[in-house]
Structures are given as structure tokens and as C-alpha cells.
Structure 1
């Protein structure tokens, strides 16, 4: 909503920036001058120890010389409380004794109704808490004590009890003048199908109030005391206050704890959250009786860049985690991810806390795996990959999963990690075949004379000075330039482009732009020019090492570009394979060296050499002539024979 002119200025004038920030910052008295409103302390945004956070109370602004965070009281509340602009305005206005201007009549009427419903919910909270102290709740109190909940925890989480019976809450609220229509709208009572009066939704249940980010009670969760009850846990129905897909249990305390640096832990249920919070893991939340939704995931990311999903150590817990992966993949962004902590088999966080204490839970949380590892586990667990067909099926499935990630750079890094995990999985199989023996390869010796020493220009070239790294950069540049000369071939090489590491930042930017333009190739070259600049693109295509590439001299020749890209990608893959085998061989040499190992290195070297040869190259052996030119050995031998025959004929004459 728009606010009247001057309202925000008046709010800022009535608000002390130092007092607002003082709730989160411990001022350094040696450096601060309180009389002048010049305050210094550790920054609450990047959790430092030095006093680089400065508040000028007279001007009403703050600035951190460490992380460069800056703003006024409204922005400070927004950032530290994780609330919207209007919520921050309402918080400060209430403290300043100001009334936020009303919205249009209908909106205000709706807000007034929500306030009425929130008041009804608060009365229900008090009713349930009172019932927990009465004799009817003796079994409920025993259960809570058995679960390790002390009186302090019961009060902090406002746990209550809904007595058995059909009209206890209804009559209790009715006695306080609450209209039946509001009880129905708040989801506390339900209409009868038999024409009787509405009856209580919660009966013989331990009650957990569910509050929103501003601390207002919007719903309840109830845990059945009767073991034969069909629903062990029951939540309030969706109402004008409550949308279970957009809220989290324990949201407000978790947001505050997360703002202070505590890791955000996502558990399965209310008791897990309470147990974790009481054990020192204050930033703990839980979805509300359903699988995690997209809105809840976005809400988690507002609290923390990398929430930890705490899984129960059973198959149901893993299935729930796999559903979260499917939901999260299309939503991932750079810097926004998930980690997964798997509890010991058969235990949830509450069980582990009571059995082994907070340190055991901390160890599990500290060892939480990134999402890419759980994705790999999902696709490979309990499966055997002993044939090319099964390996290809795995590759296809993983490519399909990774393609759901929208960010090209993030998709590339997922591909790199998957590639490394795949290598580790198949490494033993490949190594086993090599060690079991194979045909020994007899190598044809080449009679090459040592080349002349390199010139100073050659020594200064990028390829010589940069080594293998420079070679990869040059080949990557050839691939990208070839595609830009015939954009229609990009689709054919999309998987390889996604996995191409691109050591050079400019090449990485070109690759990502090409990937984004697949399907709209007509604008690909223009988009690349926008991304890196027209001059940079022109310089790239005119570079010396590219000017000799045929497809770049003849732009638009799709077949020539396709062959060039395929050849360069094959060379890079062969080169990587050579280094992989070399690394494995070095490891094997630490234990033993044998003919099988030598054969492996020879095979890898041969593959690398063949990848760099044109198709019509053969195994011709050469000699070096007196003038330094290379000559076919067989042709020279034939030529020498011919000369001998000519000399013999002359001598006879």
C-alpha cells in the first residue's frame, strides 16, 4: 500500500536508530559517544568481533565499514527480523505510538476481521494451556514428561491440552462472548452433518499453537492421546488466517536465531523442533503436517541460504528427502542450496537427543551432505551398473534431473560433481579390468630425429608457457567460436557444453549465453556480443589461434563447424582421460608396478595421440634429409634403389 506523504519522515523522526539497533548490537563504550549519538559496535549482519558497525543517531542512519550494509531504522528491522517493508513500518509505528494509515475500506475490514480471528485464537491458546493443568490432563502431562519436556519448555511453546468431549472449547469461548461464526471461521469448531450444534475440532489431544512470523497464533496442531485414533497428528483446517503451505512451525524464534548465525534445521514434527530448540538448536522449524512446499522452501531460504533438512533414519525419511530434491531442483539459485543430515537408522532428532545428547546431533548436522550427493544416492542406491546399457541409463536419468536446474552455471557445477561421483563409482570396475591383464601392445618405433630448439617466440607463446591449462583454454575457445559461426549446431552439443569447465571467465560467460539461447539460435551471436561486448567478440574471432580454423574462415558452414566442435571435444576428453589414467597409475605405483600398469599407460597415451591426428594420418616412418626435411622412409629407400640402378647402368656404358 502507499503511505501518505510525510508519514515515513515522521516515523523516522520519532524513532531512535541507536535504540532500534541496540537490541541486536552490543555497543563498544570505549569507541562510542552516546551523548552525540555516535555509536559503534560489532556488525549484526556479518557477525564480526571488531566494532566496525556505526550508527549516527542524529541522522538516523547506520553503516558497516566491513560488509558495507547501510540504511535507516526501517531497513534495519527488515534485515534483522526478516520481515517485509510494511511489517517493519508497523513494528516501528507501534513502538513509536503512531497509527499506520488505513487502507481502503474493504482491506481495512478484512484486516479488522483477521484481528478478531487472531484474538479468538489467543483465547483458545489460553483455554488449552489452562486445561493442561487440570486433572483431566494427567495422562497428557505424563506423556510430555516421558518425552523430556520440562515446565519451562511447556511455557515457552505454550503447549496445552484439548479435553475429550465434543463441546469443551465451544462452551468455554461462548462463555466469553465469542460468536459461533468466529469459532467456525477460526477452524476451532466444525459444523455437524446431523443438524446439531458445531462441535470441537480437537478432542483428547496435546495442543501446539502455530504462530506466524509476527507471533500471532494462526492455527493449532494436536497430537492424539488415544493410540487408536486414526490421525496421530491433526492440524487446523485452512482458514482466513492459516495456509499450511506458506507457514512453518516455530518460524519467529527460528528466524531470530538464524539471524544470529545459528544453522536453520528443518525437522519433521513439533516434538522434534521443541527438543532441538531446548537442546540449543534454536533455528529449528517443521512443515505443518505435509511435504515441504515451494512456498515453504522459499521461506526457508529467506531465513538461511543453506537450510539443513534433518531426516529420520528410515526409508520414509529418505523418501521425504527425495521429494524435497524434486521440488528444489528447478528453484535452485547460486548461493541458495540445501544440505541433508541423516539420523542414525530408526531414530529421529528427538530420539537421538534423548539417547546420546546434543553433541551427537551436532555431529550429524555438521556432517550434513550437499544435495548433489543425495541426488546421486537416489539414482544409484541398490542398483548394479555392470553393463553399458545400465550405465547409459544412469547417465540419461542424471542428465534429465540436472537439466531441471535453471541457472546454467549452477547446472554446470552439478554436472561436474556428478561426473566426479560417476568416475569414483566406475573406477574400480575399470581398474579391475586393467589389472586382470590384457593384450600387450607392441609399439612401432619411429625414427624421429630430435627437433631443433624452440625459438624465443615459441617459448613466449601461451601454449608453451601455460602448458595443459592453456591448451584446454585454446580448445574451448575453438569450440565456442565454431558454434558462434554456425549456431544451429549448438543443440547437438548441449550436454558436452554444460560439462565443459571453461577455465577462462570470458569463455564461461560465452558458454552460458550459448546455452541460454539454444532454441532461439537466431539471436545467439547478438546475445554473446551483449554479454562480453562487441569488441571482445570481434577480437576473439580474429585471434591468431582461431584465424587458421577453417569453419571460422567460412562462417555459416554448419557441417564444417559440427566436425570442428566434435573433434575438439574429443581431443579434450582424450586429454582428460590421459591425465585420469596417469593419476591412477601414480597411485598404483605406490603399491606395485607391473606390465598391466605399463599397458594401461600405453593405451591412454595412444588414445590421446590418436585423438589429435587427422583421419587420413597413417603410421608412416620418416627419415630426415640433409636439408632437414622429413621424408617417407619407404619412399626414400625406393628412391635410393632407383639411384643405384641408374649409377650401375652408367658404369656399364
Structure 2
């Protein structure tokens, strides 16, 4: 339906976004400023304790600094109520006291048709429920009783029965005056290819009504009573009411239960959902006879930020889990993740509940694995990695998977998690744990650990070693800040340097946050606004106002594209090279602290550290410091020799022989 010009503007003008959002959140009164229309609350779209969800009531715009949800009153109602655009307009128009414009005749006819189909489906629900109480359904009732469903549960789930015979439903519906075309359009009957007769689609089956988020009966799922039937479960065909890839079984009840704090559980079938719900796990849903679709994933995330995919622990269940992972990876972001609960081999949730009770299911749910761990398990379980080639093949597979994640910050965290799992598998020394390359180039490299006063929250190799590195940290921190400032002044360059910016480890959390915010501006129509929302205008002004930043040529002359690009390349090369140098020097320090007197390996490690500096940076060292050549022919600068002389004195070895050798 097309709305008349100005309708949406008038709707937004009449509404207060704070009032619309206020129905779903509890405002943080200390942080909010009602007089300025500035409201803060914990985000309704992801679980958090702090108030990171901001509403600008004057502009009619909301933004969450945690999960990046954003939009206006219409999008808020769509997301929070799980409704479409026009349904959200209806809700808001009623609240604003605005009559909806008249629909065009064609659109009105489609709506009227869907309304009639929904009425026909409700009549079918009544028919099937009545049939379950007849003598013909005795075997079906016995089966349901064996599955632990009491009469009250049958009523709650509106379970019914489609009797044997070709026209039971058809005759009952036509006797009520329902025309053939509606029975066909509702997916309840079919027309015979051999003659003009109509016949029922569902025969000799236990019937489960499928309702949408608004509570309308839109389809049925039928379980065959005949064990030799070709289709154990049969769903309604797609109709104007029913799109199986855009709906979930029990979605309405699950949304309500999840809103009360229950975890959203995604099971495989109707009986699993019913068993879970009856056992107290009310936020349970199931896809409708197909593998999970991207639309269904989005529906799940609108209900809960971290749905738990419950699957059988057999090979088929694992294959299903991997299909979900492959589908979800490009869609994952902060506030949208998955966990996987693998049930004991050969058992589904219904089996486990009947065998061991709800507590056994809770144990499985508590042990649910995050996506990254199940992805790792698939590629490593039962395999041997006893050669460099096999390890390289593993790295390649995982790297290709991680590249599918679009969010750069999340992609980097996945790389870190894989690196830890890899280190555990190969029993690598903790200090040698590689940072797993997430597609930013550079392959495997050691995880740089910031040292000294710029990393108070991170473990260092030791106080004595960190004290010696403070001067280098000062220089590198300044260089990385200049690099980030150049990007802030030249946001059009961020995408061109995306891979290198992703690889740039930051010396302090604030710079790391700025780096992540810069990466999130890629592909945005207004990157400056996105950056200001995440970092703050005042913070950015403070950064750019620092004297050493303001006099940087690439910032003073940011219209010179070549200068900006060449400056970024040169400064990032120097920063990466210096960090490689720090890694080698730190390892030399750690080795020195552990070796026996007389070991000459330290000189070799110092020389190796000198070679880690790229030619440009090495020339800077050679131009400004005295360089001596050790016995092994490697260059040692005066600063490096002084540093190790200081280390020896600090360690207090008391060995004059060892001092003179350095």
C-alpha cells in the first residue's frame, strides 16, 4: 500500500518517541535529561545492565551504543513488536489518533482475501480438534498419551486429528458454505489431476496448528500415523497466509516467555517444542519443515539476542548445526549471536525430558557452546595435525570461515578465540600463542602484549622487563595516535586501509575503541555521524586539538590525497616494524631471566631483534645512535646495549664476568 504524501511526517510529528519507547524500557533518570529530550535506558534489544540505549526525542531518533540498533518510532515498533512496516504504521496511527488512509481497491481485496483464509483456517482447527475426540482417533490419542501429553496439554496446543478418507474435511467445510476456491487457496484441499474432484491434503495424521506472531492460524503440520507413509511430517503448502521460511512454530508464545527472561530454544520439530514448553521452557520454537532460513534467524534475534539451537548429538544434528553456522556467520554482530546445545546421541529434547526430566535438559542448555567452539570442533574432532601441511590446511579453512563475518570487531574477536583454541590443541607455550589472521594479511604472527604504563589491565612479562620498555611505548603510542587522527580527518581512506587497520594492535583501550569505531564507518552513508555517535564530538575535538596532531602534515594538508596516503603507509610500516622489534626484545629479556650464567644466546636474540626493524626504521636508529657489531656479525645499537646492561644490574646477578660480556 502506498501512503499519501506527508502522512508519515505528520505521524512522526504527533508522536513522542520517548513515549513509544517508554512502554518497553525503564529510563535511567540520573543519566536522562527530560528537559532536553535526552533519554537513556538499558537496551530493549540486547541484555545489559548499563544504560547504553539513547533516545533523542527532539530528533525522533534512537541509537544503542552496545548493539548499534538505530531508527525511529516506526522501526522501533517493527523490531519490538515483530510486525511488518504497515502493521507498525497502524499501531502508531491508532496511538496518535490518526485515521489510516483508504487503501486502493486492489490492496483492499488482497487484505479481505487473507482475512477470509484466516477464518477458513480457524474452522479447520475446530474440525480437527473435534475429530481427535472420535472413536477413529483412538490410536492417535494413545500415541499422544505415550508421548506424555495429557488432555489439558492437547487443548493448550489445539492438537487435532485428520481422519482417513479423501473428503472428510472438504465435505465438512462445504457443508458450512465455504467455497472450493478458499479451501484450495488455504492449502487444505487439492484438485485431482484425474477428474474434477477435490480431496483433503491431510489424511490419517495428528494435526498441529501453526500460528503467526499475531496469533492467526496460518498453516498445519501433520504427523502420519502410518509408519510406512512416505512423509512422516507434512506441512501445509505455501499460501497467501503462509510463508514457511518467514515463520516459526510457537513464535507468539515464545516471544512472551523470552520477554520474561527465558532463553530462546530452537528445536527441530513440533513435539520437541511442545515437550520443552510443557517442561517449563516456554520460549521454544521450531522451523517449519525446512532448514533455518535467514529470515527465521532475524525473527529469532528480534526475540532474543542469543538463541540456543537445540540439536541431536548425532551426525545429522551436527550437519544441521553447521548449516546454521554457515548461514549465520555473515549476519553475526554485537547483540546477535548463537549458542548450540547438543543433546546425547540418539535423543532429542522430548526423549531426554521423558527419560531424565527437565533438569537433564537444563544441564544440556547450560553446556551450550558458542558458535566459534562448535565451528572449531567440526574442523578438528577426530583429526590428526602432525605435519605443517595439515596445520596450514586447518588455518586456511578457519580463515575462510572467519572472513564471512562482516563486522570487523567481531571478526577480530573470532580470530583471537581461534588462536587460543589452536594454542591449546598444539600445546604451544603461552607466550608464543599466535594471533590468528582473520583475513587482514600478514599470516601468523605473535600476539603483541603492550608493556608498561600504557597497559595497566594487561599482564606483562615482569615488572623489571616492563620498566625497560616504557620509552618505546611512549613513542609507539604517539605514532598510533597520529595514525588514528589521520584517519579521523580522512574517513574516505579507512576502507582502503581496512586490512591494515584491523591488524593494528592498540596500546590503550581508548585507541582500540577509536580504531573499532573507524572500521564501523565503512559502507555508511554518513561516516562522520557514525563516528561521532560512537566516540563523541567532544572526544574527537580533543584528539584533533592536540598540538602534535594539529601540526601533522597529513592533517594540516588533508586535501593532499597523495600525502595522506603516503603518510599512512609510512607510519603504519614503522609502527608494525617497531612492534615486531619489541616482541623479539621482550623474548630476549624473558630468556635472559631464565638462562644459566655464561649463556651467549642473548646476544643472538638482541641481534635478531635489531633485524626485525624494517630498513626505514633501522636507518633512523643508525643515524641517531652508536651501532656496534657483535662477534656474530649482528648490529647492536648503543641504546640496546645500555638497556641490557641496566637489566643485568637490575636482576642483581653480581657476576662481573656476565656484565663485561654484555
- The alpha-carbon distance between structure 1 residues 562 and 237, as it changes in their structure 2 partners (threshold 3 A), is same
Unpaired runs of at least 5, structure 1: 27-41, 53-66, 433-461, 547-551, 587-592, 622-627, 633-653
Residue number in structure 2 paired with 1:459: none
CA–CA separation in structure 2 for the residues paired with 1:463 and 1:249: 61
Residue number in structure 2 paired with 1:315: 315
- The alpha-carbon distance between structure 1 residues 463 and 407, as it changes in their structure 2 partners (threshold 3 A), is farther
Distance apart, 1:76 and its partner CA? 10
Alignment of 1:337-352 (within 5 A): 337-352=337-352
- The alpha-carbon distance between structure 1 residues 537 and 513, as it changes in their structure 2 partners (threshold 3 A), is farther
8 Å CA contact 1:47, 1:260 repeated in 2: no
CA–CA separation in structure 2 for the residues paired with 1:178 and 1:603: 91
CA–CA separation in structure 2 for the residues paired with 1:43 and 1:494: 31
8 Å CA contact 1:211, 1:217 repeated in 2: yes
CA–CA separation in structure 1 for the residues paired with 2:200 and 2:607: 79
RMSD: 5.4
* 1:130 maps to 2:93: no
Residue number in structure 1 paired with 2:657: none
Residue number in structure 2 paired with 1:535: 544
Residue number in structure 1 paired with 2:297: 297
- The alpha-carbon distance between structure 1 residues 177 and 474, as it changes in their structure 2 partners (threshold 3 A), is same
CA–CA separation in structure 2 for the residues paired with 1:471 and 1:298: 46
Residue number in structure 2 paired with 1:29: none
CA–CA separation in structure 2 for the residues paired with 1:247 and 1:300: 10
Residue number in structure 1 paired with 2:514: 509
CA–CA separation in structure 2 for the residues paired with 1:321 and 1:45: 28
8 Å CA contact 1:574, 1:611 repeated in 2: yes
- The alpha-carbon distance between structure 1 residues 74 and 205, as it changes in their structure 2 partners (threshold 3 A), is same
Q: Structure 2 residue aligned with 1:568, among 559, 578, 592? A: 578
Q: Secondary structure at the residue paired with 1:405? A: coil
CA–CA separation in structure 1 for the residues paired with 2:483 and 2:93: 60
8 Å CA contact 1:485, 1:556 repeated in 2: no
Distance apart, 1:267 and its partner CA? 0.6
CA–CA separation in structure 1 for the residues paired with 2:324 and 2:208: 25
* 1:221 maps to 2:226: no
Residue number in structure 1 paired with 2:55: none
CA–CA separation in structure 2 for the residues paired with 1:108 and 1:45: 34
Residue number in structure 2 paired with 1:556: 566
Provide TM-score, normalisation by structure 1: 0.67
- The alpha-carbon distance between structure 1 residues 135 and 92, as it changes in their structure 2 partners (threshold 3 A), is farther
8 Å CA contact 2:268, 2:310 repeated in 1: yes
CA–CA separation in structure 2 for the residues paired with 1:82 and 1:527: 26
Distance apart, 1:195 and its partner CA? 1.8
Distance apart, 1:571 and its partner CA? 3.0
- The alpha-carbon distance between structure 1 residues 488 and 232, as it changes in their structure 2 partners (threshold 3 A), is same
Q: Secondary structure at the residue paired with 1:396? A: helix
Distance apart, 1:393 and its partner CA? 2.3
Residue number in structure 2 paired with 1:324: 324
CA–CA separation in structure 2 for the residues paired with 1:353 and 1:468: 60
Distance apart, 1:496 and its partner CA? 6.1
- The alpha-carbon distance between structure 1 residues 153 and 601, as it changes in their structure 2 partners (threshold 3 A), is farther
Residue number in structure 2 paired with 1:208: 208
| Cα-to-partner distance string for 1:555-614 (whole Å, 9 max, x where unaligned) | 7389866853552352355478779x88xx99xxxxxx998xx99999988865764694
8 Å CA contact 1:130, 1:160 repeated in 2: yes
8 Å CA contact 1:74, 1:88 repeated in 2: yes
CA–CA separation in structure 2 for the residues paired with 1:265 and 1:297: 12
- The alpha-carbon distance between structure 1 residues 96 and 396, as it changes in their structure 2 partners (threshold 3 A), is closer
- The alpha-carbon distance between structure 1 residues 489 and 102, as it changes in their structure 2 partners (threshold 3 A), is closer
| Cα-to-partner distance string for 1:209-246 (whole Å, 9 max, x where unaligned) | 00000000000011111111111111101011100000
8 Å CA contact 1:245, 1:288 repeated in 2: yes
| Cα-to-partner distance string for 1:606-627 (whole Å, 9 max, x where unaligned) | 8657646949966437xxxxxx
CA–CA separation in structure 1 for the residues paired with 2:157 and 2:629: 81
- The alpha-carbon distance between structure 1 residues 147 and 481, as it changes in their structure 2 partners (threshold 3 A), is same
CA–CA separation in structure 2 for the residues paired with 1:630 and 1:138: 89
8 Å CA contact 2:263, 2:283 repeated in 1: yes
Q: Secondary structure at the residue paired with 1:222? A: strand
Q: Structure 1 residues 362-371 or 323-332, which shifts more?
A: 362-371
Q: Secondary structure at the residue paired with 1:556? A: helix
CA–CA separation in structure 2 for the residues paired with 1:183 and 1:128: 15
CA–CA separation in structure 2 for the residues paired with 1:630 and 1:466: 14
Distance apart, 1:83 and its partner CA? 3.6
CA–CA separation in structure 1 for the residues paired with 2:261 and 2:350: 22
Residue number in structure 1 paired with 2:418: 418
Q: Structure 2 residue aligned with 1:498, among 480, 486, 502? A: 502
- The alpha-carbon distance between structure 1 residues 96 and 541, as it changes in their structure 2 partners (threshold 3 A), is closer
CA–CA separation in structure 2 for the residues paired with 1:198 and 1:212: 27
Q: How many residues get paired?
A: 533
CA–CA separation in structure 2 for the residues paired with 1:215 and 1:200: 24
Residue number in structure 2 paired with 1:109: 109
Q: Structure 1 residues 468-477 or 196-205, which shifts more?
A: 468-477
Q: Structure 1 residues 203-212 or 557-566, which shifts more?
A: 557-566
- The alpha-carbon distance between structure 1 residues 88 and 274, as it changes in their structure 2 partners (threshold 3 A), is same
Provide TM-score, normalisation by structure 2: 0.66
* 1:259 maps to 2:268: no
CA–CA separation in structure 1 for the residues paired with 2:138 and 2:313: 32
Residue number in structure 1 paired with 2:286: 286
Distance apart, 1:305 and its partner CA? 1.0
Distance apart, 1:370 and its partner CA? 1.5
Residue number in structure 2 paired with 1:620: 630
Q: Secondary structure at the residue paired with 2:290? A: coil
8 Å CA contact 1:114, 1:241 repeated in 2: yes
Unpaired runs of at least 5, structure 2: 27-40, 52-65, 67-71, 433-465, 556-561, 632-637, 643-662
| Cα-to-partner distance string for 1:53-74 (whole Å, 9 max, x where unaligned) | xxxxxxxxxxxxxx9xxxx999
